[in-house]
Structure 1
Amino acid sequence: MRHILSLILLFLLAVPAHAQQSGTGSYDDLLELHEELRDYMVPAFTNAVVLDSGAQVGEAYADSLMAEKVAGLESFEERLDAMDVANWPREHQVEYLAVRSMLNGYRFNLEVLRPWKRDPGFYLDPLMRVAFAEVPASGEDLATLREQLATVPLMLADARANLTEVAGDYADLALHNLDNSDGVNHYHPYREVPPPGIIGWYDDLLARARESQPELVPEIQQARTALIAFRDWLQDERPGMDAAAGVGSARYDWFIRHVRMIPITGDEMLVLAEREHERMTAALALLRHRNRDEPQIPLSTSREQQEGRIAETDRIVRDFLTEEEFITIPDYVGELGANTPYIERPTGPNFWEQIQFRDPIPDHVHAVIPGHRFDAVLAARDERPIRGRFSEGSRAEGWATYLEEATMLAGGTDHSPRADEFMMIFGIFRAARVPADVYMQRNAWSVREAVDFMRAQTPWLDEDVARVDAEIYLRRPPGYGVAYTIGKLQMDALLADRAMQLGDDFVLRDFHDEFMAAGRLPIALIRYEMTGAADEVALFWETPAIPPAD
Structure 2
Amino acid sequence: MRWFLAFLGFALFWAGAVRAEEADPGYDALLALHEDLRDYMLPGFTAGVVMDSGARVGEVYADDLMARKLAGLAAFETRLAALPVKTWSRAGQVDYLAVKSILNGYRFNLEVLRPWKRDPGFYLDPLMGVAFSEVTGSEADIAKLRARLAMVAPMLASGRQNLTEVAGDFADLAIHNLENSDGVNHYHPYRAVPPAGIIGWYDDLLARSRASRPDLVADVEAARAAVIAFRDWLRAERPRMTAPGGVGAERYDWYIRHVRMIPLTAAEMLTLAEREHERMTAALALLRHRNRDLPQLTLSRSAAEQAEKIRVTDAAVRRFLTEEEIVTIPDYVGELGTNTPYIERPGGPNFWEQIQFRDPIPDHLHAVIPGHRFDAVLAARDTRPIRGSYSDGGRAEGWATYLEEAMMLAGGTRHTPRADEFMQLFGIFRAARVPVDIGMQHNRMTVAEAVAAMRARTPWLDEDVARVDAEIYLRRPPGYGVAYTIGKLQMDALLADRAAQLGEAFRLREFHDAFLAAGRLPIALTRYEMTGYGEEVALFWTTPPIPPAG
Q: Which runs of 5+ in 1 are unaligned?
A: 1-23, 46-50
Structure 1 residue 144 corresponds to structure 2 residue 139? no
Q: Give the number of equivalent residue pairs.
A: 522
Task: Give the Cα–Cα distance (whole angstroms) in 2 for the partners of residues 183 and 538 of structure 1.
Answer: 44
Please show how residues 166-181 of structure 1 align to structure 2 within 5 Å.
166-181=166-181
Q: CA deviation at 1:43?
A: 1.7
Please show how residues 12-411 of structure 1 align to structure 2 within 5 Å.
26-45=26-45, 51=46, 53-55=48-50, 57-411=57-411
CA contact (8 A) 1:55 1:123 kept: no
Q: Which runs of 4+ in 1 moved over 6 A?
A: none
CA contact (8 A) 2:113 2:477 kept: yes
CA contact (8 A) 1:394 1:480 kept: yes
Q: Provide, for residues 83-142 of structure 1, a one-character-per-residue CA deviation record: whole Å limited to 9, x for no partner.
A: 000110100000000000000000000000000000000000101110000112332211
SS at match of 1:58: helix
Task: Give the Cα–Cα distance (whole angstroms) in 2 for the partners of residues 375 and 54 of structure 1.
Answer: 25
Q: CA deviation at 1:44?
A: 2.8
Please show how residues 441-460 of structure 1 align to structure 2 within 5 Å.
441-460=441-460
Q: Which amino acid aligns with 2:263?
A: P
Task: Give the Cα–Cα distance (whole angstroms) in 2 for the partners of residues 26 and 244 of structure 1.
Answer: 43
**Match of residue 429 from structure 2:** 429
CA contact (8 A) 2:327 2:512 kept: yes
Task: Give the Cα–Cα distance (whole angstroms) in 2 for the partners of residues 88 and 456 of structure 1.
Answer: 49
Task: Give the Cα–Cα distance (whole angstroms) in 2 for the partners of residues 154 and 186 of structure 1.
Answer: 28
SS at match of 2:59: coil
Q: Which amino acid aligns with 1:213?
A: R
Relative to its length, the structure with more helix (as a share) is 2
Task: Give the Cα–Cα distance (whole angstroms) in 1 for the partners of residues 543 and 505 of structure 2.
Answer: 38
Task: Give the Cα–Cα distance (whole angstroms) in 1 for the partners of residues 231 and 521 of structure 2.
Answer: 40
Q: Provide, for residues 257-290 of structure 1, a one-character-per-residue CA deviation record: whole Å limited to 9, x for no partner.
A: 0000000000100000000000000000000000
Q: Provide, for residues 140-179 of structure 1, a one-character-per-residue CA deviation record: whole Å limited to 9, x for no partner.
A: 2111100000000000000000000000000000000000
Q: Which runs of 5+ in 2 are unaligned?
A: 1-23, 52-56
**Match of residue 438 from structure 1:** 438
Q: CA deviation at 1:359?
A: 0.2
Q: CA deviation at 1:384?
A: 0.4
Q: Which amino acid aligns with 2:458?
A: T
Q: Provide, for residues 51-101 of structure 1, a one-character-per-residue CA deviation record: whole Å limited to 9, x for no partner.
A: 463455130000000000001000000000000001101000000000000
Q: Provide, for residues 440-465 of structure 1, a one-character-per-residue CA deviation record: whole Å limited to 9, x for no partner.
A: 00000000000000000001000000
CA contact (8 A) 1:55 1:126 kept: no
Structure 1 residue 527 corresponds to structure 2 residue 527? yes
SS at match of 2:44: coil
Task: Give the Cα–Cα distance (whole angstroms) in 1 for the partners of residues 241 and 364 of structure 2.
Answer: 41
CA contact (8 A) 1:276 1:431 kept: yes
Q: Provide, for residues 302-352 of structure 1, a one-character-per-residue CA deviation record: whole Å limited to 9, x for no partner.
A: 000000000000000000000000000001000000000000000100000
SS at match of 2:48: coil
CA contact (8 A) 2:25 2:88 kept: no
Q: Which amino acid aligns with 1:165?
A: E
Q: CA RMSD in A?
A: 0.9
Q: Provide, for residues 364-418 of structure 1, a one-character-per-residue CA deviation record: whole Å limited to 9, x for no partner.
A: 0000000000000000000001000000000000000000000000000000011
- TM-score, scaled to structure 2: 0.94
Change (3 A) 1:284 1:489: same
CA contact (8 A) 1:55 1:122 kept: no
Q: Which amino acid aligns with 1:270?
A: L
Task: Give the Cα–Cα distance (whole angstroms) in 1 for the partners of residues 138 and 392 of structure 2.
Answer: 38
CA contact (8 A) 1:25 1:82 kept: no
Q: Provide, for residues 447-506 of structure 1, a one-character-per-residue CA deviation record: whole Å limited to 9, x for no partner.
A: 000000000000100000000000000000000000000000000000000000100110
Q: Which amino acid aligns with 1:39?
A: D
Task: Give the Cα–Cα distance (whole angstroms) in 1 for the partners of residues 533 and 482 of structure 2.
Answer: 24
SS at match of 2:43: coil
Please show how residues 466-485 of structure 1 align to structure 2 within 5 Å.
466-485=466-485
SS at match of 2:418: helix
Task: Give the Cα–Cα distance (whole angstroms) in 2 for the partners of residues 137 and 407 of structure 1.
Answer: 43
Task: Give the Cα–Cα distance (whole angstroms) in 2 for the partners of residues 436 and 448 of structure 1.
Answer: 10
Q: Which amino acid aligns with 2:513?
A: D
Task: Give the Cα–Cα distance (whole angstroms) in 1 for the partners of residues 455 and 44 of structure 2.
Answer: 32
Change (3 A) 1:164 1:151: same
Q: Which amino acid aligns with 1:42?
A: L
Task: Give the Cα–Cα distance (whole angstroms) in 2 for the partners of residues 525 and 342 of structure 1.
Answer: 38
Q: Which amino acid aligns with 1:512?
A: H
Task: Give the Cα–Cα distance (whole angstroms) in 2 for the partners of residues 431 and 459 of structure 1.
Answer: 13
Task: Give the Cα–Cα distance (whole angstroms) in 2 for the partners of residues 283 and 408 of structure 1.
Answer: 13
Q: Which amino acid aligns with 2:96?
A: Y
Q: CA deviation at 1:25?
A: 7.2
CA contact (8 A) 1:244 1:443 kept: yes
CA contact (8 A) 2:168 2:242 kept: yes
CA contact (8 A) 1:179 1:196 kept: yes
Task: Give the Cα–Cα distance (whole angstroms) in 1 for the partners of residues 438 and 50 of structure 2.
Answer: 26
Task: Give the Cα–Cα distance (whole angstroms) in 1 for the partners of residues 193 and 305 of structure 2.
Answer: 22
CA contact (8 A) 1:119 1:167 kept: yes
Percent identity between matched residues is 75
Task: Give the Cα–Cα distance (whole angstroms) in 2 for the partners of residues 321 and 214 of structure 1.
Answer: 52
CA contact (8 A) 1:44 1:55 kept: no
